[in-house]
Amino acid sequence: MIVVTGAAGFIGSCVAKDLLQVAEEPIVLVDDFTRKDKKRNLKALERLEMVARDVFFDWARDKDISAIVHLGARTDTTEFDWSIFQKLNVDFTKSIWELCVQKNARLIYASSAATYGDGELSYKDDHSIIPDLKPLNPYGDSKNQVDKWVLKQEPSIPWYGLKFFNVYGPNEYHKGRMASVILHAYNQITQNGKMKLFRSHNPNFKDGEQLRDFVYVKDVSKVIQYLLNLKGHSGIYNLGTGQARTFLDLSKAVFNALDKSTEIEFIDTPEDIRDKYQYFTEADMSKLIMSGYQQTFETLEDGIKDYVSNYLLESRAY
């Protein structure tokens, strides 16, 4: 069987639904299923077996597991209680790794582009720079601690750590402040007719020209399916599009998807995140491509058009 952790969440629920269409093995979902605000994400997955996160390792003891797609994590970049990240991101992932080694199961786990910090050492998924990376917040640090620990292991299993860049798409409606800028833009534009963007506090970037690598969740799912069948090439990989785009580009794409004229207001970046703010991220995707991945990624405009037209306007989950 294939286990998907974080299966009630944004990326996990989309990946699980796509795997349900293509995988020959049974799909088992793992998460904290008590959160009512995630129920919509599970609508297409109701017939699958669901295992509570707290009992997963006991449940897994006698199960035949061929692969674990570990997407469960605390992802709040404004959380500063390290004990939460230690338990849910670091220790839990280490236990998942050890379980996969015991079961001789393939592992795909979620890292993050937040590990790159301000990008001083580049955004290249080169194992040699990982020990020297300096994330800007505890969330990024927790992900980097796992990456560093993994690289010290002597694995006997196929494994892939994915440094997710800015993922957006359906099933993120429960994420609140941590939802993608696309969802915030949609909500602001439909409610107020305009979009608020953070003003730049860096003289090297004009207002609205901060850059991110935005990747559609459907592309993330395709990469994970590819890695579930890849022979060899274990390692840590970037997962973005390889093309940074501005927040102005993003905003205009949402206005266009809604067939509305562009109206943007700039506001100060909140002080609690200002000194941790990344002004530029762009995934170097050459490593994944060199492994044999050949599919193209959605453009920001096409991804936003699909997300807005087929999910947000329809109030539909993936």
Pair of tokens at residue 218: 């459907």
Per cent of the chain over pLDDT 70 is 100
Residue 155: the pLDDT is 80
**Cα(278)–Cα(119) distance, integer angstroms:** 8
Residue 79: the pLDDT is 84
- What CATH number does the domain containing 17 carry? 3.40.50.720
Surface-to-core class of residue 304, CB atoms within 10 Å of its CB (0-12 exposed, 13-18 middle, 19+ buried): buried
* Mean pLDDT across 115-132: 96
Residue 4: the pLDDT is 98
Pair of tokens at residue 284: 């170097």
Domain membership flag for residue 250? no
Q: Would the pLDDT of 74 be above 90? A: no
**Cα(224)–Cα(25) distance, integer angstroms:** 15
* Mean pLDDT across 47-66: 97
With tokens 């297409």, the residue in question is 44
Residue 145: the pLDDT is 98
Catalytic residues: 139, 175
Taking phi over 0 as left and psi of -120 to 50 as alpha, with beta for the rest, 297 belongs to beta
- pLDDT band per the 50, 70, 90 thresholds, residue 141: very high
- Per the structure, the count of domains in the chain is 1
Domain membership flag for residue 93? yes
* Mean pLDDT across 84-108: 96
Domain membership flag for residue 247? no
Q: Closest Cα to residue 166, out of 181, 155, 154?
A: 181
pLDDT digits (tens, 9 = 90+) for 253-266: 999 999 999 999 99
Residue 76: the pLDDT is 83
The β-bridge relationship of strands 211-212 and 159-164 is unpaired
Taking phi over 0 as left and psi of -120 to 50 as alpha, with beta for the rest, 171 belongs to left
Q: Is 233 helix (H, G, I), strand (E, B) or coil?
A: coil
Q: Is 252 helix (H, G, I), strand (E, B) or coil?
A: helix
Residue 272: the pLDDT is 79
| Distance in Å from the first CA to the final CA of the chain | 23
Give the side-chain half-sphere CA count within 13 A for 237.
26
Mean confidence (pLDDT) of the chain? 95
Q: Would the pLDDT of 78 be above 80? A: no
Residue 273: the pLDDT is 80
Residue 31: the pLDDT is 97
Domain membership flag for residue 256? no
* Mean pLDDT across 232-259: 97
Q: Would the pLDDT of 54 be above 80? A: yes
pLDDT digits (tens, 9 = 90+) for 291-313: 999 999 999 999 999 999 999 99
Q: Would the pLDDT of 276 be above 80? A: no
- pLDDT band per the 50, 70, 90 thresholds, residue 224: very high
Q: Provide the H-helix boundaries in the chain.
A: 10-22, 56-60, 82-85, 92-103, 138-151, 181-192, 217-229, 247-257, 271-274, 286-290, 300-307
Q: Would the pLDDT of 57 be above 80? A: yes
- pLDDT band per the 50, 70, 90 thresholds, residue 154: confident
Q: Give me the domain span that covers residue 223.
A: 2-168+213-242+280-297
Domain membership flag for residue 77? yes
The answer to whether 141 and 268 have CB atoms below 8 angstroms apart is no
Domain membership flag for residue 201? no
**Cα(165)–Cα(29) distance, integer angstroms:** 24
pLDDT digits (tens, 9 = 90+) for 5-51: 999 999 999 999 999 999 899 999 999 999 999 999 999 999 999 99
Domain membership flag for residue 191? no
Domain membership flag for residue 238? yes
Nearest-5° angle of CA 23, CA 28, CA 33? 135
